[in-house]
Amino acid sequence: MLRKIAARLRGLAAPAPAAAAPPRAAILDQYVRGAPSDANAVDIFKGEWWSALPGRWAGVPAGNLPLFDDKRMHWAIQNLGGVTGRKVLELGPMEAGHTWMLEQAGAGSVLAIEANSRCFMKSLIVKEVVGLQRSRFLHGDFEEYLRGPADRFDAVIASGVLYHMRDPVELLQNIARVTDRVFIWSHYYAAAPIEAIAHMRHRFGTHVEAERAGFRHTLHRYQYGDFLNTNRFSGGTEDYSNWLGREELLGALRHVGLSDIVIGEEEIEHVNGPCFSLVAKRPGS
């Protein structure tokens, strides 16, 4: 009997097993515990950047492309007659590299419209990191903006956007409603060069005759396919777009009144298809 009582008392005195620590709340991983820095802001999208940051921010790890010192934009600014004091509309700023260049060149104001939410947020990070002062970023579809009662602009920057449109001629028509000067960098459809690119040839399917505002042209349907499977995707708002051929692109510009055209660098054998830079103006502007 005494042994049973002693065993019971030993059981009562034994410490209770330690409770398991509660799991760390996932939301706490969204906090930075170190001192504020530009790198902390850029790291929100770590591994997703395309652009290398400029000047004294070059040491902040981002991307590799020199989009803050882009020779295409240097050429554009020169052939637009400069942008000093001018009101500029930028379509699809992506990571604000060209926006930075426009401010550095003296633009009076830049309105940059970005539909991709990740690119919009990256542009806002860049705005804070490099200290953009005369640029405003809007989150939304610039096609819808241009379809409405948009303001007039001294110049429009349409770099890397035309070949992401489903109706590229409509975009050119609407650009011509708001400006007398536009810079375009774009891919265009050319059967032989594209057929020679293994990762591109299968992306084109139908080739459809179309008409917009009296301009007849062919739309070459392009499927993004596996390009959609990444957070770095920065194309159009659907899973396909329509490309124009080179001469039809130039013809569309003339049709909408931007017929004073200067062609810059052209790369027939670009890894993603033929492309060129151009500035188109309304004659006498």
How confident is the model over 227-249, as pLDDT tens digits? 888 888 888 999 999 999 999 99
Q: Does an H or E element contain 277, and which?
A: strand 275-281
Let me know if residue 27 belongs to a domain: no
Please identify which residue in the block is written with the tokens 């395309």. 50
Tally helices (H) and strands (E) across the chain: 10, 10
CATH code for the domain of 232: 3.40.50.150
Q: Note the pLDDT tens digit of each residue in 121-137.
A: 999 999 999 999 999 99
Let me know if residue 174 belongs to a domain: yes
Please identify which residue in the block is written with the tokens 């004294």. 56
Q: Note the pLDDT tens digit of each residue in 74-100.
A: 999 999 999 999 999 999 999 999 999
Task: Please state the domain count of the chain.
Answer: 1
| Structural domain boundaries, residue 247 | 38-281
Let me know if residue 21 belongs to a domain: no
Separation of first and last alpha carbons in the chain: 111
Q: What is the pLDDT of residue 1?
A: 54
Burial of 163 (0-12, 13-18, 19+ CB in 10 A): buried
The answer to whether 283 touches 207, Cβ cutoff 8 Å, is no
Let me know if residue 59 belongs to a domain: yes
Q: Note the pLDDT tens digit of each residue in 207-225.
A: 999 999 999 999 999 999 9
Q: What is the pLDDT of residue 13?
A: 54
In sign, the C-alpha dihedral spanning 178, 181, 187, 188 is: positive
Q: What is the mean pLDDT of residues 144-158?
A: 96
